[in-house]
């Protein structure tokens, strides 16, 4: 990755140009950068060389110009955007995208906080609420509870009235408790699959082991939802999950997020009301985006990493 001066983009018909105040980073950024796993290469527009030249799928900023036919936004509007379906481009001073990619930023939510919500927040919301169908009173286990998606998943499950157990390293235990986990399991000291507890829903953000290991701790009628992690175990869940589910009263599923402005509005409203706290681990300036990506790749980030512009 290199820092360059490029021409300021001009909005096409139906697009708006946003002056970026902050950009959120996500695992998708380093997957697209590295071209790994191979499944992301068609998403990046090329098997051997990416066509996406500027990464950054989550932004918060101010509408700076509007293209022909745009009536939903005016210059000066404060917006938040999820751009993974619209060419990315958020790691820059300005970005152009279709008007429908953006939602209004509530005044109570600072730009740097709003910028980290879209991808991780929508992923967690759809995994917990929609795919996992979490309900009040259920026991929910979040594996990888201290990461970007995991911290959202813990809070969303709690907001839905579930009893939440988070799996993380001991150094992150206090942070995971502070965002609402009722119980925390330190994976460096204990194997959660051997502790004798069962859960109605398991959200596996880490996927450092086969989903088959979790079968004994999925309660009757329970659900296991794999969100992300090691490609080997992701592929296994995609292929074997439906077969194992068909022979059991438990379901084992693989989940892929679908961009949704309705869900983004819901998450921003929850944040404005104090029901959701999108924790930020580190801030980086635009010229240090490569360092931010390297830090993400360590898998040691507690919460989210934001680029300040």
The whole-number pLDDT of residue 45 equals 64
The whole-number pLDDT of residue 31 equals 85
The whole-number pLDDT of residue 33 equals 87
The whole-number pLDDT of residue 43 equals 66
The whole-number pLDDT of residue 233 equals 80
pLDDT above 90 coverage of the chain, percent: 82
Contacts of 287 (CB under 8 A, 6+ apart): 3
Long-range contacts formed by 250-253: CB under 8 A, 24+ apart: 250/215, 250/218, 250/219, 250/220, 250/221, 250/222, 250/223, 250/224, 251/222, 251/223, 251/224, 252/211, 252/215, 252/218, 252/223, 252/224, 252/226, 253/131, 253/223, 253/224, 253/225, 253/226
- Rounded (5°) CA angle 150-165-184: 95
List, for the chain, all residue ranges whose pLDDT scores fall below the cut of 50.
none
């Amino acid at each position: 990755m290199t820092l360059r001066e490029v021409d300021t983009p001009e909005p096409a018909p139906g697009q708006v140009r946003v002056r970026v105040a902050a950009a959120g980073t996500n695992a998708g950024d380093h997957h697209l950068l590295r071209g790994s796993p191979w499944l992301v290469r068609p998403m990046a527009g090329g098997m051997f060389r990416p066509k996406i030249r500027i990464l950054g799928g989550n932004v918060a900023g101010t509408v700076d110009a509007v293209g022909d036919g745009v009536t939903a936004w005016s210059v000066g509007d404060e917006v938040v955007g999820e751009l993974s379906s619209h060419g990315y481009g958020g790691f820059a001073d300005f970005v152009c995208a279709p008007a429908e990619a953006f939602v209004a930023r509530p005044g109570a939510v600072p730009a740097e906080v709003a910028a980290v919500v879209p991808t991780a927040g929508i992923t967690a919301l759809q995994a917990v609420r929609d795919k996992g169908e979490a309900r009040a009173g259920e026991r929910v286990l979040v594996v990888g509870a201290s990461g970007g998606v995991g911290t959202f998943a813990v809070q969303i499950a709690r907001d839905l009235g579930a009893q939440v157990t988070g799996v993380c390293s001991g150094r992150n235990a206090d942070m995971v408790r502070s965002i609402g986990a009722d119980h925390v399991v330190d994976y460096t000291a204990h194997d959660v699959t051997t502790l004798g507890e069962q859960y109605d829903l398991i959200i596996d953000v880490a996927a450092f082991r086969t989903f088959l290991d979790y079968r004994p701790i999925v309660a009757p009628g329970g659900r296991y939802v794999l969100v992300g992690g090691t490609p080997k175990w992701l592929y296994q869940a995609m292929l074997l999950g439906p077969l194992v589910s068909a022979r059991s009263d438990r379901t084992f599923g693989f989940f892929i997020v679908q961009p949704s402005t309705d869900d983004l509005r819901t998450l921003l409203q929850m944040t404005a009301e104090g029901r959701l706290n999108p924790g930020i681990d580190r801030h980086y300036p635009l010229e240090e985006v490569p360092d931010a990506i390297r830090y993400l790749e360590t898998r040691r980030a507690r919460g989210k990493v934001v680029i300040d512009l």
